[in-house]
């Protein structure tokens, strides 16, 4: 399975193309749209979310609610494009129109922490609009849509993915959150189950907004129901933890990723960190803890997948940081784009999507099949073989 996205922040749409989905998977537009709406919500979001009302448009690969086995293409239209049609036009504009229409959208002072300057140096342009549009987090709408296509694969195996927010700046929840409780956390506008902590998170966001600043935090994604044996240590490119880390690090603003209690592993002794192993004939191998986050040696071990990510404060500040104008090379305040104060709750939703994509890819690689029926048959056969080999009932 391969996932590609395309589109600019203020272009006509963002799109995703997903190849390699078996035929016969159920795809519901309402479920995709519900997840797109989750991505748009969250305390601290900016004005763009008031303009866009994201809804998916299915262009190819699905008939009567089922995948055909051919590439699936989805589009999420950008309503704000109507206000940017001249700026984002693919056609050459008349000189007068160009001068009048583009100058107000011109950005030449790169934002520290953004792709602006690095992208300008890579693509040799002083026009930061060429960098801003594709590097924008607007692309994550396409990823969330693709993630719900991946969920159609996970449904075959009974795998669910959820998330919650652990921290926004210095407001943090120290208590572990169960997978079931994460469903309640997702109803919070800051993604936090503990209302006392959630109130502190909102206060932190309000304070940063008042100062023209931004805040980051920490999120956790969890997957329940993933069978053991997914991923491999045979090559470094096949390690499941490595694949998850790369996918999550690709989310704009994510700066660190850890499996399970990985952020704290360096402060613990091995006897405290590692998850001891037990066995019963009914359940098979058991673990009293899950510090490893469900992956050992690059392979799923049957426990819940738990992965955390650090989300940095986004780089568009209303209280602008010092920068340099690319045209004059003189000091200049960093450019401002319409932006958010905090994207941590939204990042958790995007994190879920990336986990879904990676797990779906790994499951398809392990079990294969051109149709849902084949995929399920291969999985059930493998499950029976594992049970008979080790002498315990089916998982």
Q: What integer is the mean pLDDT of 332-347?
A: 91
Tell whether the model's pLDDT for residue 395 goes beyond 70: no
Q: Are strands 66-67 and 284-286 parallel, antiparallel or unpaired?
A: unpaired
Where would I find the beta strands (DSSP E) of 200-356?
Answer: 217-224, 254-259, 278-280, 284-286, 295-296, 299-300, 305-311, 322-324, 331-333
pLDDT of residue 210: 95
Q: Are 60 and 70 in contact (CB under 8 A)?
A: yes
In the chain, what are the domain boundaries? 2-390
More confident residue, 392 or 380: 380
Q: What integer is the mean pLDDT of 108-128?
A: 96
Tell whether the model's pLDDT for residue 303 goes beyond 90: yes
User: Rounded to the nearest 5°, which phi and psi values hold at 83?
Assistant: -90, -5
Calculate the CA 319 to chain-centre distance.
28
Global confidence as pTM: 0.95
pLDDT of residue 326: 96
Residue with tokens 């011109």: 106
Q: What integer is the mean pLDDT of 219-232?
A: 98
Q: Are 370 and 143 in contact (CB under 8 A)?
A: no
Tell whether the model's pLDDT for residue 88 goes beyond 80: yes
Q: Are 135 and 338 in contact (CB under 8 A)?
A: no
Matching CATH number, 2-390, of 2.40.30.10, 3.40.50.2300, 3.60.150.10, 4.10.490.10: 3.60.150.10
11-15, 17-21, 67-71, 173-177: which has the minimum mean pLDDT? 173-177
Q: Are 340 and 229 in contact (CB under 8 A)?
A: no
Contact partners, residue 349, CB within 8 Å, separation at least 6: 35, 38, 39, 144, 163
pLDDT, tens only, 119-168: 999 999 999 999 999 999 999 999 999 999 999 999 999 999 999 999 99
Calculate the CA 318 to chain-centre distance.
25
């Amino acid at each position: 399975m391969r996932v590609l996205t395309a589109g600019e922040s203020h272009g006509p749409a963002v799109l995703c193309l997903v190849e390699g989905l078996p035929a016969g998977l159920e795809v519901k537009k309402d479920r995709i749209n519900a997840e797109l709406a989750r991505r748009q919500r969250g305390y601290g979001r900016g004005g763009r979310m008031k303009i866009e009302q994201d809804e998916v448009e299915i262009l190819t690969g699905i008939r009567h609610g089922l995948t055909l086995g051919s590439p699936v293409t989805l589009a999420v239209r950008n309503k704000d494009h109507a206000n940017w049609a001249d700026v984002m036009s693919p056609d050459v504009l008349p000189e007068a129109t160009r001068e009048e229409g583009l100058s107000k959208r011109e950005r030449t002072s790169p934002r520290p922490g953004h792709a602006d300057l690095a992208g300008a140096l890579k693509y040799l342009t002083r026009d930061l609009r060429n960098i801003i549009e594709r590097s924008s987090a607007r692309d994550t709408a396409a990823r969330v849509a693709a993630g719900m296509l991946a969920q159609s694969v996970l449904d075959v195996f009974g795998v669910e993915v959820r998330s919650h927010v652990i921290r926004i700046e210095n407001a943090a929840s120290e208590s572990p959150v169960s997978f079931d409780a994460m469903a309640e956390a997702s109803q919070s506008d800051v993604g936090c189950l503990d209302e006392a902590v959630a109130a502190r998170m909102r206060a932190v966001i309000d304070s940063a907004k008042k100062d023209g600043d931004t805040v980051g935090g920490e999120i956790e994604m969890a997957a329940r129901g993933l069978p053991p044996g997914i991923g491999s240590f045979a090559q470094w490119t096949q390690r499941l933890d490595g694949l998850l880390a790369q996918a999550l690090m690709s989310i704009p603003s994510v700066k660190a990723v850890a499996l399970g209690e990985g952020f704290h592993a360096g402060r613990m002794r091995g006897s405290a960190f590692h998850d001891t192993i037990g066995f019963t004939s009914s359940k098979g191998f058991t673990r009293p803890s899950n510090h490893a986050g469900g992956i050992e040696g690059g392979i799923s071990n049957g426990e819940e997948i738990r992965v955390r990510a650090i989300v940095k404060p986004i780089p568009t500040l209303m209280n602008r940081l010092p920068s340099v104008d690319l045209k004059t090379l003189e000091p200049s305040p960093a450019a401002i784009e319409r932006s958010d104060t905090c994207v941590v709750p939204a990042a958790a939703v995007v994190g879920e999507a990336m986990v879904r994509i990676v797990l779906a890819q790994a499951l398809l690689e392990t079990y294969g099949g051109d149709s849902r029926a084949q995929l399920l048959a291969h999985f059930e056969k493998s499950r029976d073989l594992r049970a008979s080999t080790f002498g315990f009932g089916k998982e």
